[in-house]
Structure 1
Amino acid sequence: MKVRKAISPVIATLLLILIAVAASILVYVWVTGYASSVTGAEATQLQERIKIDAVSANSSYTVVYVRNIGDIKVNVTDIYIIDAATSEIMNHSEFSEELAPGQVKEFQVETTLKPGHTYIAKAVTSNGVEATQSFVYRG
């Protein structure tokens, strides 16, 4: 009768090392992912956040209502009106309006819009935070 060994000691050692390295990599990926999600949640609380509540337009101007939904003051510096079909900037107006948390301000922008066309209103803060809202000008 012939006696056979299932795995040689060298191969068994290599397999154990491979399993240990793979487990270490998995633990590292899990820990770094968890750490970044925890720090990301904390950083989100300190960032500026704005929202466009509404847009109203007539033949000569567009009014964009911007709300500060963050916890810190924001400075709205730019309002864009963009043609959604062509991505052409119809108007760009510069402002320097500070909004306290929860505050809403209206921004009036001179525009010439075509009835039935879809446009995008875009508000930008001094730190580059953006909010957009699409609307159709009914005329």
Structure 2
Amino acid sequence: MNRKRSISEIVAVVMLIIVAISASILLYVWLNGLVGSVHYNDPSLYVKIEITSANITHKNNYIVYAYVQNLGSATSISSVAVLYYNNSLIFFNNTPSGNLNIPPKSIGLIYASNNTKVNISPGTPVIIEVITSNGVEATYQTNWP
């Protein structure tokens, strides 16, 4: 009688081990597929831009000029912002001009203007921010004219 009992206990333990291994394999396969699909479907992972140089000029209105280098896949510039050093907004332009569709491994000139009066002391540090249609941002620090 003890023999039958011990064999059934061994079978039960082996079955539990098989169920645990099967569940862990299924969980691994599911998570690997889920994380892989999220990772590869996000286009912003392939977009990388950098502002190589930028400045602001003032004649009748303020014009921001930025040379943007595309280090990733093809992208499009959607907006330009000028911020104080503490990230508060000076002005924003969601209709910039210039080379808005920058091919990979190339540089494009982007410019945006602002017609409103801005009271900022000349030489104040500001940040120029360029934003792509995917939401990828690049910043460049310069001084207000």
TMscore range, shorter length: 0.5 to 0.7
- The 8 Å contact of residues 75 and 132 in structure 2, kept in 1 or not, is answered as no
Q: Any residues of structure 2 matched to 1:77-116 within 5 Å, and which? A: 77-85=78-86, 87-93=87-93, 94-95=95-96, 97-110=100-113, 115-116=123-124
1:129 is displaced (CA, Å) by: 3.5
Structure 1 CA distance, aligned partners of 2:42 and 2:10?
48
TM-score w.r.t. the length of structure 1 is 0.62
| 1:88 Cα deviation from its structure 2 partner | 2.0
Would you say the 8 A contact 1:91–1:109 is kept in 2? no
**Identity percentage over the alignment?**
11
Task: Map 1:59-138 to 2 at 5 A.
Answer: 60=58, 61-71=63-73, 73-85=74-86, 87-93=87-93, 94-95=95-96, 97-110=100-113, 115-117=123-125, 119=127, 121-125=129-133, 128-137=134-143
Work out the number of aligned pairs and report it: 131
Name stretches of at least 5 consecutive residues in structure 2 with no aligned partner.
Answer: none
* Aligned CA-pair RMSD: 3.8
Match of 1:30 in 2: 28
Question: Tell me, which stretches of 5 or more residues in structure 1 are unaligned?
Answer: none
Please give the residue correspondences for 1:25-64 in structure 2 after superposition, counting only pairs within 5 Å.
25-35=23-33, 43=41, 49-58=47-56, 60=58, 61-64=63-66
CA distance in 1, matches of 2:66, 2:55: 9
My pick for the range that moved more, 27-36 or 109-118, is 109-118
Residues 41 and 58 of structure 1: is their aligned pair in 2 closer, same or farther, counting only changes over 3 Å?
A: closer
